Chain A
């Protein structure tokens, strides 16, 4: 696609994880000069998916790496991101037009990575008025930090499975919620 000059037309790229279990991390070392050149050519991305994003390794220059997505990104899907809640929220807050968010944790190391580190406040408070899909989110810190740092949450669609305090998320979106997906136990 790069040779044909089509990369600027890509709207929904996904950085996949090839090794299940969270050992592989997407970090700046994966972006050599050639890959980085291709990465920066993606200037029309609206829906970005990243598996195993190692946010601490990108800090504090993470904005420089993802700057080309900032004006256009509307939907972000993070699978097993590494970092504290504040770092994840900082990353989300890079994208000023973000509407939809998918956040999925699938391994037990997650809780150990929650310890707070000194992270600057998000650059933006994205609208986040679309769909929130979350899987396996432990603790209430993420909700508290999102409400605190983004001034509340305003999603119109919630799809939350295995999320602690799920009803607090639902209550937090009381004024905007239009669609709710419900799950019973053990599914």
Chain B
């Protein structure tokens, strides 16, 4: 890809060609790639894993030291009944949805299935998986609990066997 072609390319990787031209081998200090959960995980159930495969390509070009993290960023709309951002109109709603035990199990299973995507991506390059919930603070620990439950199921199924050190869940609350 020529310089002029790169100049006109935004990070709307519709054709994927711009993505495939990325080479991060010169970025010697790079130690974290972040990606939104909705960008990478939800595509698992839609056939071709276009973005994850592009992501794998980018990952394979990284030559910085071994301790490397991939941070999957969860927003509110990755969880049943939570709005993605704080808004006045949600003031009177309960901060977390009222869910039955069966619904909670279903949501945890949903996250568990999605964790297979990072496992696939891990084939391109070893990394520590970090699941980070960037959600407004009124929600509290609810998303972390759902992710940890999903992780527990995934761990029992061996999904995380390839990851060392073990995946980490972080809550990064936004001020509302």
* B8→A187 contact, CB < 8 A: no
**Shortest distance between the CB of B34 and any CB in chain A (Å):** 4
Chain B 1-34, CB-CB to A under 8 Å as 1, else 0, gives 0000011111111100011011010111111111
Chain A 151-186, CB-CB to B under 8 Å as 1, else 0, gives 000001001111111111011011111111111111
Query: How many pairs, one residue from A and one from B, have CB atoms within 8 Å of each other in the complex?
Result: 89
* B26→A184 contact, CB < 8 A: no
* B29→A177 contact, CB < 8 A: yes
* B30→A165 contact, CB < 8 A: no
Check: A140 CB closer than 8 A to any chain B CB. yes
Check: B113 CB closer than 8 A to any chain A CB. no
Contacts A159-B34, A184-B51, A186-B14 given; does A175 touch B28 at CB 8 Å? yes
Give the interface size class of chain A: 20 to 34
CA distance A180 to B21 in the complex (A): 16
* A164→B38 contact, CB < 8 A: no
Residues in B neighbouring A140, C-beta threshold 8 A: 7
Residues in B neighbouring A171, C-beta threshold 8 A: 26
Residues in B neighbouring A163, C-beta threshold 8 A: 10-11
Give the interface size class of chain B: 20 to 34
For the residues of B in contact with A, the DSSP-based class is: mixed
Contacts A161-B11, A164-B7, A164-B8 given; does A176 touch B29 at CB 8 Å? yes
CA distance A171 to B31 in the complex (A): 15
Residues in A neighbouring B40, C-beta threshold 8 A: 184
* B13→A184 contact, CB < 8 A: yes
Residue of B nearest to A159 (CB): B34
Check: B55 CB closer than 8 A to any chain A CB. yes
CA distance A165 to B21 in the complex (A): 13
Check: B54 CB closer than 8 A to any chain A CB. yes
Per the 8 Å Cβ criterion, residues 45-101 of B in contact with A are 50-51, 54-55, 58, 73
* B10→A162 contact, CB < 8 A: yes
**Shortest distance between the CB of A40 and any CB in chain B (Å):** 26
* B33→A180 contact, CB < 8 A: yes
* A168→B7 contact, CB < 8 A: yes
Q: Which of B14, B35, B38 contacts A181 (CB 8 A)?
A: B35
**Shortest distance between the CB of B151 and any CB in chain A (Å):** 22
CA distance A95 to B137 in the complex (A): 30
Chain A 90-118, CB-CB to B under 8 Å as 1, else 0, gives 00000000000000000000000000000
Residue of A nearest to B34 (CB): A181
Residues in B neighbouring A162, C-beta threshold 8 A: 10-12
* A179→B31 contact, CB < 8 A: yes
Q: Which of B10, B14, B22, B32 contacts A179 (CB 8 A)?
A: B32
Check: B139 CB closer than 8 A to any chain A CB. no
CA distance A82 to B2 in the complex (A): 32
CA distance A168 to B33 in the complex (A): 17
Q: Which of B26, B27, B39 contacts A183 (CB 8 A)?
A: B39
A-B contact pairs, 11 of them (CB 8 A): A161-B11, A162-B10, A163-B10, A165-B10, A167-B21, A178-B30, A180-B24, A180-B33, A182-B39, A184-B19, A187-B38
